[in-house]
Amino acid sequence: MADPVLFEILIPSQMSAGMAVQDRVIGLMQDLQFSGRDIFAMRLSLEEAISNAIRHGNRFASDKQVWIRCELTELLVRVVVRDEGEGFDPGQVPDPTLAENLERPSGRGLLLMRAYLSECCYSDSGRCLTLVRERNSPLPIVPD
């Protein structure tokens, strides 16, 4: 079994910096021969998590950063994303599948992350998000 790969990075509140971290994680997943399904799930989730931290958490503020910690093992990928924003209550995000919210742009990213990840949980008043994708996870499970 290969040794775990760990890294931490502070990035500015810029989407290009977030994309660079996303590309690094995906490259490491490819090196560890994660499936295309696992890579798709983590790419989608990382894009949502990092862009939300930059856009909604830090509000693109040049004096704020996003801290990202990544751990890859043979069995899983765990990424923690923390912003310097005011935080929020994820329980207050409107359910985007309800009829009255179908036209609203918010809430879909959180719904997708929860569907594709083994673990997707907020802490520190919504400023910190932990994403976990287990190797060969069957998620999302789509009903027939």
Q: What's the CATH number where 57 sits?
A: 3.30.565.10
pLDDT, residue 117, reads 96
Q: How many domains does the chain have?
A: 1
- Quote the pLDDT of residue 12: 98
The per-residue pLDDT for 68 is 99
Alpha carbons within 13 A on the beta-carbon side of 64:
17
141 is a domain residue: no
Rounded to whole angstroms, how far apart are CA atoms 136 and 68?
Answer: 24
| CA gap 129, 110 in Å, rounded | 11
Can you tell me which residue has the tokens 């990092």? 50
Q: Is residue 144 part of a domain?
A: no
Q: Is residue 143 part of a domain?
A: no
- 107 is a domain residue: yes
Encoded tokens for 51: 């862009």
Residues spanned by the domain of 124:
5-134
Q: What is the pLDDT of residue 46?
A: 98
Which one-letter amino acid corresponds to residue 67? Answer: W
Continuous segment of H or E residues that includes residue 76: strand 76-82
Intervals of the chain under pLDDT 50:
none
